Amino acid sequence: MLRSNEPDVEQPTNLDAPASWADDLYAWFYVLAAPGGTDAYFWEIDEDAREMVVDECNVLELSEDRRAFILACLENDHYWHFRRSAGQPAIINLAYGLIAASVAEITGGFIYSVDGGWDYERFPATAEEFYQWYFRPELAISPDKRSDSERWLKAIAGESAA
């Protein structure tokens, strides 16, 4: 559903419309049986954001094909920003990554994160790459991410059993 920022009120949502909305709105994704959710914003890429990604691509050892793919995606001049607050139920932790990857998949784009929510070293990633390791503890890069995934998977199993 779409919601306005101030005041925080549900807005009419046309599910057949493009997945774009004004800066004063956000999309709210939630699971009926769980408290909380994750919010998504649709923003134009400003020059600072573009430069940050381009600079990161220059630091990473990316193939020319990968670099060209990322630069082509940046030409779209917009992006979706997904945000998950700390303390969300485990099912929301799982869902927020799957929603982000789904948007990357249907748009032919990529996932990029610098907030520490995921294994930073794996980005930028396509949806296909993300699906291969997301919430798979045995494939986590760090012990912390492995522990988080294991804990959340156990919690989801407990939530669904209740």
128-139 per-position pLDDT tens digit: 999 999 999 999
Output the pLDDT for position 62.
Answer: 86
3 state DSSP class of 110: coil
Q: What is the pLDDT of residues 59-105, one digit of tens each?
A: 888 889 999 999 999 998 899 999 888 888 999 989 989 999 999 99
pLDDT band, residue 16 (cuts 50/70/90): very high
pTM beyond 0.85, yes or no: yes
Q: Is the dihedral of CA 122, 51, 76, 69 positive or negative?
A: negative
Q: How far is CA 82 from CA 108, 117, 137, 158, 159, in A?
A: 17, 11, 22, 26, 24
Short-list 14, 16, 33, CA closest to 25: 14
Which residue type is seen at 81? H
The pLDDT of residue 162 is above 70:
no
